[in-house]
Amino acid sequence: MESAPTVDAASPAALLRLLMDGRPRTRADIVAETGLARSTVRARLDLLMAAGLVSDIGDDVSTGGRPASRFAFHAGARQVLAADVGATHATVAVADLGCRLLAVEQIELDIADGPTVILPLLVKAWRELLPEGGAPVAGVGIGLPGPVEHSTGRPNNPPIMPGWDGFDVPGLVAAELGVPVLVDNEVNLMALGEHTTAFPEAEHMIVVKVATGIGSGLISNGVLHRGAVGAAGDLGHIQAPHGGDVLCRCGNTGCLEAVASGPAMAARLREQGVDATTTADVVRLVRAGSLEAGQVVRQAGRDIGEVLAACVSMFNPSLVVVGGLVAQAGEMLLAGVRESVYRRSLPLATENLRIVASKAGPEAGVLGAAAMVAKHALSPEVLDVQLAS
């Protein structure tokens, strides 16, 4: 049995959630739908309107009776600050509560400079992006390229982020901006972004990111599956069937990331005498029609598919979304992934499985960061307490 709700099931936040289905309602509609007392509905709508979260969008003139005001959710009532931070650059954005991006900027950085350098860069970028006289800021969402303990917002033993382990990211940013700060792994947020904005109907999905690293994010029953310590989806350091004794940057050997990440592909190209160092080089070569690069990317897709096949058997998603820089190079990666997954997974698990390219694209992570904040800001735990004070 599920546990009982910890908050009032008929709170202002619950009323707002009713209105978030997009259908405007009159007071009488709400009374009929919820069984709340007329006075309660009036009081809660007043609270939500005073907070700007609900608008009176005019009279309902569809019936012959006395016209009555209709009320609707107002996504523009708050702004959300979002950032998707990678190893070498970040996407920084301002969005509304409906995950519409109002302003976006790319900034260059080196994650190894540590949080006391990087986080002020983000704060500066948000301050520049925020329009003067805009709606109040509901909160900040940050995606980082490593495991994050979501409840505290602290990175948890991140392999490529020297200086970040255990750092109080929300503390530093909240001290600057004075609003709640939520932090998560960037691939989790990429999954949330794809799910929220592009594939809301997919109850169970795996979003794979192939770039300098390899990771994935899981959606289970329509909700992000973060795992016990925020480490779920770590596809990159599972043993690859043909991983052999290739050394991985994590210290182990034979990890998927050691054979199929962008840098691993570049290394394979160098062995064939092709000049390539970074993930971007590989992508550039594929786009320029390099046969060698195309073959290397396709083989990486097969290697990823072999590890993913077991995950598909176990998780039985209806959808696998492949994104990240390498996926943007075209169909080769996806073709390789499909080849292995459809060959190796259980027939039943692949019967209705779609394996597709990212739809939210490079903005998936920042959209997910915005979605995380909007969901939090409008949750009963936050909104009801705020409105009651």
Minimum gap (Å) between residue 156 Cβ and a copy of itself: 6
Positive/negative CA dihedral, 171, 177, 178, 181: negative
Minimum gap (Å) between residue 154 Cβ and a copy of itself: 13
CB-neighbour burial class of residue 250 (10 A; exposed 0-12, middle 13-18, buried 19+): middle
Minimum gap (Å) between residue 387 Cβ and a copy of itself: 12
CA atoms of 322 and 340, how far apart (whole Å): 14
Closer to a copy of itself by Cβ: residue 105 or 149: 149
**Contact of 6 with 21, CB cutoff 8 Å:** no
Closer to a copy of itself by Cβ: residue 33 or 110: 33
Minimum gap (Å) between residue 232 Cβ and a copy of itself: 4
Minimum gap (Å) between residue 371 Cβ and a copy of itself: 6
| C-beta neighbour count of 67 within 10 angstroms | 12
Minimum gap (Å) between residue 346 Cβ and a copy of itself: 5
Positive/negative CA dihedral, 76, 385, 21, 48: negative
Closer to a copy of itself by Cβ: residue 43 or 61: 43
Report the Cα 62 to chain-centroid distance in Å: 40
Q: What CA dihedral angle connects 305, 236, 219 and 320, to 10 degrees?
A: -20
Closer to a copy of itself by Cβ: residue 2 or 132: 2
Closer to a copy of itself by Cβ: residue 182 or 283: 182
Minimum gap (Å) between residue 139 Cβ and a copy of itself: 14
Candidates 374, 328, 337, 379; CA nearest to 355 is: 337
Residues sharing a CB contact under 8 Å with residue 11, sequence separation 6 or more, in sequence order: 44, 380, 383, 384
Residues sharing a CB contact under 8 Å with residue 40, sequence separation 6 or more, in sequence order: 10
Minimum gap (Å) between residue 102 Cβ and a copy of itself: 17
Positive/negative CA dihedral, 356, 216, 138, 71: positive
Q: How many residues does the chain have?
A: 389
CA atoms of 169 and 161, how far apart (whole Å): 13
DSSP string across 348-361: HHHTT-EEEE-SSG
CA atoms of 187 and 214, how far apart (whole Å): 9
Distances (CA, A) of 48 to 12, 17, 37: 7, 11, 17
Closer to a copy of itself by Cβ: residue 175 or 348: 348
Minimum gap (Å) between residue 367 Cβ and a copy of itself: 12
